[in-house]
Amino acid sequence: MGRPERKSGKNYNQGILIPEKPSKKESTMSEEDIISLFYGKSNRETYEILIPLARKGDKIANYFIGNMLVSPIDQTVEPNIIVGVRFLKKSARDGYSPALEFLGNLYAYNENVKSDLVSAHTFFFLSAIIENRVDIGYHLIIEDEFNISEAEANRSKETAKNCIEVGLENCAFLLE
C-alpha cells in the first residue's frame, strides 16, 4: 500500500488550518493501518500522512487528526481544540462512533472545553444508538454522575433521535 500523496495547499482562516470540503473518494488506508500509524509514529508524521485523507473525507483520518489536535500524545503537533473539534465533528457526521464518544468526553470532562453536560449526553447517546447499545451507553453515566435532569436527558435523546432521522451529515447539532 502506497503512502498518500502530500498536498502543499493549505486552507487557513485567521491563521488556523481548517478542514477542506471532502470529496467522495475512499480511504487508501484501512482502519487498522491508521491506528498502527497513530501509535507507531510521532503525531507530526501521522498528521502529515493523514491530513490528505481527512481532506478527502476519510472519517477515521478525521477522527485521528481531531484527536491529535485536541490532545496530542507528543509535542510534535501544536494543540488546537477548535480545529480539532471540527475534525472530530466531521468524523461524527460520517457516523464514526469513536468520534462521538471522544466529543462526549470533551464536553463532560475536558478542562479546555466549556462543560456542557447535555451536549456530552447527546454525543454519547448518538454513539449508543449507532452501536445499538442504548441500555449500556456512556450517556447513562452522565445521567447518574452529573445528575442531569430528566427533562435535560429527554431533550438530549430527542436531539440525538432527530439527528438519526435526518441523517448525521445533516444533523444541526453536529454542524454547530
Q: What confidence tens digit (pLDDT) does each residue in 6-52 have? A: 333 333 333 344 444 444 444 579 999 999 999 999 999 999 999 99
Same domain, 80 and 115: no
Same domain, 47 and 77: yes
Same domain, 103 and 155: yes
pLDDT of residue 113: 83
Exposed / middle / buried, residue 53 (Cβ in 10 Å: 0-12, 13-18, 19+): buried
pLDDT of residue 27: 53
176 pLDDT band, cuts 50/70/90, is confident
Same domain, 84 and 156: no
Which of 37, 65, 91 is the last residue before a domain boundary? 91
**Locate cell 488556523: which residue?**
16
Which of 68, 91, 114 is the last residue before a domain boundary? 91
CA 30 to chain centre: 18
Is residue 9 in some structural domain? no
Which of 50, 68, 91 is the last residue before a domain boundary? 91
Cα distances (angstroms) measured from residue 173 to each of 104, 129, 140, 166, 170: 13, 15, 20, 11, 9
pLDDT of residue 149: 92
More confident residue, 97 or 1: 97
Instruction: Give tens-digit pLDDT for 93-144.
Output: 999 999 999 999 999 998 888 889 999 999 999 999 999 888 777 888 788 7
Is residue 32 in some structural domain? yes
Whether 61 and 50 have beta carbons less than 8 Å apart is answered as yes
Contacts within 8 Å (CB) and 24+ apart, 64-73: 64/34, 64/38, 65/19, 66/90, 66/91, 66/99, 66/102, 67/38, 67/102, 68/38, 68/43, 70/102, 70/106, 70/110, 72/43, 73/43
> Taking the complete model, does pTM exceed 0.85, yes or no?
no
Same domain, 74 and 137: no
Same domain, 122 and 144: yes
Report the number of distinct structural domains present in the chain.
2
Same domain, 53 and 104: no
Is residue 137 in some structural domain? yes
Same domain, 149 and 168: yes
Give the residue numbers spanning the domain of 107. Answer: 95-176
In angstroms, rounded to a whole number, what is the distance separating the alpha carbons of residues 43 and 52?
15
pLDDT of residue 102: 96
Same domain, 125 and 166: yes
**Secondary structure element (H or E) that encloses residue 12, with its range:** strand 12-13
Is residue 13 in some structural domain? no
Same domain, 100 and 157: yes
pLDDT of residue 54: 96
What is the arithmetic mean of pLDDT over 71-76? 91
Is residue 170 in some structural domain? yes
User: What is the three-class DSSP state of 22?
Assistant: coil
Same domain, 48 and 107: no
pLDDT of residue 121: 93
Same domain, 99 and 173: yes
What is the arithmetic mean of pLDDT over 45-65? 96
